[in-house]
Amino acid sequence: MSILIAPSILAADFGTLNTEVEMLNVSDADYIHIDIMDGVFVPNISFGFPVIESIKKLSSKPLDFHLMIQNPDLYIDQCVESGAAIISVHYEACPHLHRTIQSIQQKGVKAGVVLNPHTPVSVLEDVIDMLDLVLIMSVNPGFGGQKFIENTYQKVAKLQQMAIKNPDLLIEVDGGVNLQNAKQLIESGANMLVAGSAIFASKNPLNTINEFKSV
């Protein structure tokens, strides 16, 4: 199976959002990655539910939600109503992570946990068997277009070892992912990649998505 690719809409041109989503619709992308930032958990604000509703209406691809917000529990229902196929919450924002995961899955949506660069994968030891996805941040969350953190490879490899208990686990990497580091990420154990600027700032985003799929 080729890896799953989730272009991050954050890097798209919001002035021509419909054209951007239509491009993704005809591409080989598997998901559209939706970055939600609240200006509190991360030092940036992205977009809110009205914009996400527009993306949902335009998109024929499933939506992969990445919640970079405090108190994500308050917004799970709204994310489900806005068409989320996957909802990922930050480990660092969830004091009752087990309950949060359960409440996402009870809505019939896949649940993921995101780890910031400083958070070791070992913190997930006691929940790994119930997770649909783990998202390893390869930059500090908050902004697109940052430099990839090299330590990510060994983190992904450790996670893959832990995932022996959960062979269907999606191992997603987000931040600074490009055609140069994708191969090593996949060899380390990643099976789902997010890419923002590597896709939308490229000359031909459709070709770039295609190249990611055939790495």
Applying CB under 6 A, the residues found at the interface with ligand DX5 are 8, 10-11, 33, 35, 66, 139, 141-146, 174-177, 194-198
Structure tokens at 197: 């600027």
- Catalytic option among 30, 35, 38, 64: 35
Dist. CA 113–CA 128, nearest whole Å: 9
Question: What would the DSSP string read from start to end of 36-71?
Answer: EEBSSSSS-B---HHHHHHHHHH--S-EEEEEESS-
Q: Shortest CA distance to 35 belongs to which of 202, 206, 194, 198?
A: 194
CB of 165 to Zn ion, least distance (A): 26
Interacting residues toward Zn ion by CB under 5 A = 35, 66, 174
| Residue found by looking up tokens 């917004």 in the block | 75
Q: Is 35 a catalytic residue?
A: yes
CA R_g for the chain: 16
Dist. CA 73–CA 78, nearest whole Å: 10
**Binding-site partner at residue 72 among Zn ion, ligand DX5, none, CB < 5 to 8 Å by type:** none
- Catalytic option among 30, 64, 132, 174: 174
| Nearer to ligand DX5 (CB atom), residue 138 or residue 164 | 138
CB of 33 to Zn ion, least distance (A): 6
**Binding-site partner at residue 160 among ligand DX5, Zn ion, none, CB < 5 to 8 Å by type:** none
**Binding-site partner at residue 110 among Zn ion, ligand DX5, none, CB < 5 to 8 Å by type:** none
**Binding-site partner at residue 62 among Zn ion, ligand DX5, none, CB < 5 to 8 Å by type:** none
